[in-house]
Amino acid sequence: MIADSPLANARDPGATVSKSHRFTLVLAGNPNAGKTTLFNALTGLRAKTANFPGTTIECRIGRAHIGGQPVTVVDLPGLYSLDSSSPEEQVAAQAVRGRLSDHSRADAVLLIVDATNLERNLFLVSQILELQVPTVVALNMMDMAEEHGLQIDPAKLQLELGCPVIPISARYGTGLDMLHREIARLAASVAEPVGFVPPKPACTGCSGCPFQARYAWTEDVSSRCVAHAHETRGRRTEKIDQVLTHPVIGVAAFFAVMFGIFFLIFQVAKIPMNLIDGFFAYVATFAAQHLPEGLWSSLLVNGVIRGVGGILVFLPQIGILFFLLSLIEDTGYFARAAFVMDRLMRRIGLPGKAFVPLLSAHACALPAIMSTRVIEDRRDRLVTILVAPLMTCSARIPVYTMLIALLFARSPIKASLTFTGAYAVGVAAALTMAWVFRHTILPGESKPLVLELPHYRLPSLRTATLQMLDRAAVFIRSAGTVILCISVGLWFLASFPRIKAPSPTASPATKVEAARDQLEHSIAGRLGHSLEPVLRPLGFDWQIGIGVITSFAAREVIVSTLAVVYGVGSDVAEEHPDSLYDTLRDARRSDGKPVFNTANCFSLLVFYILAAQCLPTQAVTRRETGTWKWPLLQIAYMTGLAYLAAFGVFQVLRHFGFA
């Protein structure tokens, strides 16, 4: 799990504040000013993500050696003004004032300013300089400013602001040596406060707008420091935007982009996923062969190795998703996507920004929930987190495949229609539930859209790579431990109480039979039996009941459980899925009727579309919301919804004679 007080960890552990306090620099600035790029340029791989103490707000903390001195750099959430109401910006504003946590403080501010939009950026600059804390201004995107015919005089700006102003281009690394020198000087002297004279409005209070005087000042300063030759800024952006913000073409373009992302996720991720799968299968077989057969080997193979493998197999998808999202985010495109989707999403009470997380949930709910951080409003974000797991994630695909193979083995058209229908049911359920939450526990309209549409620029592969590594690490830390515990717990439920194991020399058929008897005899098996009255109205017998229980933590497990319960053997089922499907199709109840019929296959399908059945999702929801309340609600409403829907489907189909 994430350390409780990471900002305190940013210093050497056990160090006292006065003795070995590392010089701590907070990196502040407007969103889209290039903060992340500069942060990566300063710290590179020596950075980690942590939460601000007592909040679920993330920041990146990195170490750098600047001018021979160790410096801690904290990347704050982007902010437009110091007195904003959003929690992210409030945390950032507090950090700028020097307070990072109860134990650690910031020594100086590195203020990053977008040179191509000096007037707007100077608003925050004036607020921060008024605090009289040691500050260096990094005038970023000088390359773009020059390209567009803006001539900025950094020396003049330095005089106006009364603090060092260093022109840089974080993307290309120009000016960074000068910035290093300035930071080193700041760290060495433990810096004098800036000599800034706050802008004096000619008439405070009479306008009723505290922003007005400040903007008059920024306009003034900017007009003295910037010369406009023939300026071309924003023309290209405007041309592109005529297409990408178009109400129809823009939406189509957005779906094309997302389709491209999914194509890459499913196609490219397949290769490392197969490798990971193969690796864990190999390790499991190796362990099974070289360990004496028994409880410990079973725990290691079926509990630990399978559990860890089952979650790591999703890592390539998560990595690729975050890599691509970061790449696209970097171009400035997602602001346009949020813009065009806003009107459609508003109808169900969600902001346009919720759309990218909801679409990402079609790969995996975990990165989707992690990426809801782009949504500023807490309620908007909670609704998105609650409904995201209803989208068809890739772990549902093996379950759908099995059930659809049982339903329509001979009709590829019906099979693909059912598959598409399953996706549609997931989307419809998510949108409906969002609307329901908006009208019940999280009432109110979504925050009206206020969004900067930054200039388009080329994305940075370095930023995207670092983002991908960082997200993967967060995923392993927050989901990994939980998964391990859960898979060991489920192994326990499926293995105890023990019955006599077959001798190591027994035939494979005897072993498969023994495995089935063991499962039936276990706690999970008994639970399956005792749940039967509850599951009967859905058309599930006790064998399916066992599958529902063992797949509680990870839905795809139902496939291997059914393989064990119906005596196929989980290894055979993995290598020859058709043999599993055949066995399931041929399975008979005591009265001679097939176990799987149209009615209960559809009912099971609907159940798996809607049911939570993925505890890592709850672990991530817990991490992102800070309480157990929301993940518990998530399980409760999803399971309830799944039960009711499966009940309805089964009863209706049975009524029409499909059972």
* Interface residue list for another protein (CB under 8 A): 80-81, 83-86, 116-117, 119-120, 123, 149, 199-203, 206-209, 211-213, 215-217, 219-220, 222-223, 226, 228-235, 237-238, 241, 245, 247, 335, 338-339, 342-343, 447-454
Tell which residue, 375, 370, 568, has the closest CA to residue 476: 370
In the complex with another protein, which residue's Cβ is closer, 145 or 390? 145
Q: Cis peptide leading into 497, omega within 30 of 0?
A: yes
In the complex with another protein, which residue's Cβ is closer, 223 or 510? 223
Contact 117, 140 (CB under 8 A): no
d(CA 470, CA 477): 11
Shortest distance (Å) from residue 223 CB to another protein = 7
In the complex with another protein, which residue's Cβ is closer, 62 or 352? 352
Contact 498, 517 (CB under 8 A): no
In the complex with another protein, which residue's Cβ is closer, 235 or 589? 235
Shortest distance (Å) from residue 310 CB to another protein = 41
Q: Which residues contact 429 (CB under 8 A, 6 or more apart)?
A: 387, 390, 609, 610, 641
Shortest distance (Å) from residue 378 CB to another protein = 12
Shortest distance (Å) from residue 299 CB to another protein = 53
Shortest distance (Å) from residue 233 CB to another protein = 6
In the complex with another protein, which residue's Cβ is closer, 89 or 624? 89
* Pairing status of strand 69-75 against strand 108-114: unpaired
Shortest distance (Å) from residue 26 CB to another protein = 19
3-class DSSP assignment, residue 145: helix
In the complex with another protein, which residue's Cβ is closer, 415 or 451? 451
d(CA 620, CA 622): 5
d(CA 547, CA 260): 35
Which run of H or E residues covers position 25?
A: strand 23-29
Shortest distance (Å) from residue 343 CB to another protein = 6
DSSP structure class, residue 52: P
Tell which residue, 495, 529, 532, has the closest CA to residue 515: 495
3-class DSSP assignment, residue 146: helix
In the complex with another protein, which residue's Cβ is closer, 36 or 117? 117
Which run of H or E residues covers position 406?
A: helix 396-407
d(CA 484, CA 306): 9
Shortest distance (Å) from residue 74 CB to another protein = 22
CA distances from 604 to 308, 330, 403, 540, 648 (A): 27, 42, 8, 8, 11
Which run of H or E residues covers position 238?
A: helix 235-244
Give the pair of three-digit tokens for residue 463: 């930023």
In the complex with another protein, which residue's Cβ is closer, 127 or 634? 127
Shortest distance (Å) from residue 15 CB to another protein = 37
Contact 40, 27 (CB under 8 A): no
In the complex with another protein, which residue's Cβ is closer, 201 or 489? 201
Shortest distance (Å) from residue 446 CB to another protein = 9
In the complex with another protein, which residue's Cβ is closer, 78 or 309? 78
Burial state string for 418-427 with b = 16 or more CB within 10 A and e = fewer than 16: bbeebeebbb
